[in-house]
Structure formats: C-alpha cells, structure tokens
Amino acid sequence: MYERELAVAQALAREAGAEVWRMQRGELGVELKPGDEPVTIADKRASELILAGLARELPADPVISEEAPVTVDAMTAPRLWFVDPIDGTKDFIRGEDGYSVMIGLCVNGRPAVGVVYQPVLDRLFFGTPDGAFVTVGTTTERLAVSSTTSAAEARFVASKSHRDPVIDDVKHRLGIGNEVNVGSVGVKLCLIAAGVRDLYVNPGAKTKAWDTCAPEAILLRAGGQLTDMTGAPIDYRKDLFRHRGLVGSNGAVHAEVLAKLAPLIPPV
C-alpha cells in the first residue's frame, strides 16, 4: 500500500539530504525567522527541491512545507503532504548529525506514509500501513518498539537545543534518570520506533504538523503511540500547531506517563 508515494518520498529525501549535506560543509547563510529560529540557504534549497519533485510526481496532492507559504485550503484536502526540509537546523548549523529531512503524507487527517532521512549517517527511516523499517547503507531492518512497561524505566529522549526547563520536572514526576539529547523531533520519535529509546515528552506549544507527520507514520507502524499531553490523537486537518504538547512513546508506558503528567498540561 502506498508503494508509489513511498518511493517518491524516499527518492526526494535522499536527493535533498545529499544536497544539504554538501551545503553543510560550505557557506550556510544563516538567517533568523520570527521567534529567533534559524533558517539556512540549505533549508530553502531542500524545500524547493522536494516541492518541485512532489509537484512533478504527484501533482494532484497539496503540500505544506515549513519553508514555503501555507495555502489555507490545503488543510482540508483528503491527501496532504507535510515537509520539513531540515528538522534540527541547529544541529545542522553546528555540523552535527542529529538533523533529518522529513516527508510525510496524511490521508484523511492521519499519517499514512513517513520518511525521515539522516544524511550524515545515511540512515533512512520509513513507514506505511505495511510496516516500519530503517535502511542504513544497503541493509534494511523492520522496526519495533521496546517492551519497557514502567515509566521509571523508560529511556528518555529530549531536545538538544530547545530543552525546556520543565523537562527536569517531567523526569522527576516519572522517576526517570536515563536521558539522551537529539536535535530532530523526527529522529527522536524514530529512535523510539527502533526500540532504542522509550519516551519523548514536549510540553511546549511550538511543535508543528511538519515536525510530526512523517515520524508518526513510522512510530505507529512500529507499535508506538503519539498524542498530545491530554492523550488526544493528532488531527492534521485542524491546526498546524500542537498547542497541548506532545507525548511519544513505545505505547506500553503511555497511559502511566499521561496520568502522571496531567498537572503539566499547557492551557489552550
């Protein structure tokens, strides 16, 4: 199912990834967007490349990219692509490997196809209703979440550049001591899908649809779960912003995490 869409997304992610990896070693051309968020020439170049490719290969599908104007009507389309040309731009700027190119397809408001590509590692995560997988070099393996059942035993993954001080409160409430930090939201969720990590919590309201569409398609097919902090699933037809934060997990610890973090739910 969705073989053509997956093939197109994989090819474009690899092509854009190769371009941004080349540009990472040259002049970055860093600018600041509203909210003091950095954007580079590579972000814009990758966005243009992916948008052109989707328009050529799947012209009937609308696309929303982080680095392009948003067409309001696109949100109501039955099929809608979300593109984050460089997720984890600060890692990219620092010359690190914790960024990714993300391309996801939503069908009727829910993720159907997701591709998350880390150019530096040549690591391609992907998911469809047929399953979730990762390809590194020429080797492809099926993804599956961990069997961890206790929040206190969960291996936590948090942001590297945007680590909210409330994360320490989150860890205290859950009794968690194991934490690693990664830039890209997509990579964080894919590490959970791969069973390497168990839990991601983001209480803030800055995450947007292009940050979660592709990795959610992967995480769900690996057996994991992604909701807001109230436990509600994400409906990609309603809003670009995640106003009530995010909780991504292996599924087994999800209910316990939500219950213990209920006092931290941000107001609407």
pLDDT in tens, 158-196: 987 767 789 999 999 999 999 999 999 999 999 999 999
Percent of the chain with pLDDT over 90: 76
133, 158: one domain: no
Residue pLDDT, tens place only, 115-165 = 999 999 999 999 999 999 999 999 999 999 999 999 999 999 998 776 778
Q: What residues contact residue 80 under an 8 Å CB cut-off, 6+ apart? A: 61, 62, 63, 64, 74, 105, 106, 236
In terms of residues, how long is the chain?
268
The confidence score (pLDDT) of residue 5 equals: 98
The confidence score (pLDDT) of residue 32 equals: 58
The confidence score (pLDDT) of residue 112 equals: 98
114, 168: one domain: no
Q: What residues contact residue 49 under an 8 Å CB cut-off, 6+ apart? A: 12, 15, 16, 19
The confidence score (pLDDT) of residue 253 equals: 98
Q: For residue 212, give its domain range.
A: 151-264
pLDDT of residue 36 exceeding 60, the answer is no
Out of 142, 169, 199, pick the residue that ends a domain: 142
Mean pLDDT of the chain: 93
Residue type, 28: L
Taking the model in full, what pTM does it have? 0.95
Q: How far apart are CA 220 and CA 264, in angstroms?
A: 25
42, 129: one domain: yes
122, 175: one domain: no
84, 165: one domain: no
The confidence score (pLDDT) of residue 73 equals: 80
In this structure, what CATH number is given to the domain that contains residue 183?
A: 3.40.190.80
As for how many domains the chain has, the answer is: 2
The confidence score (pLDDT) of residue 41 equals: 85
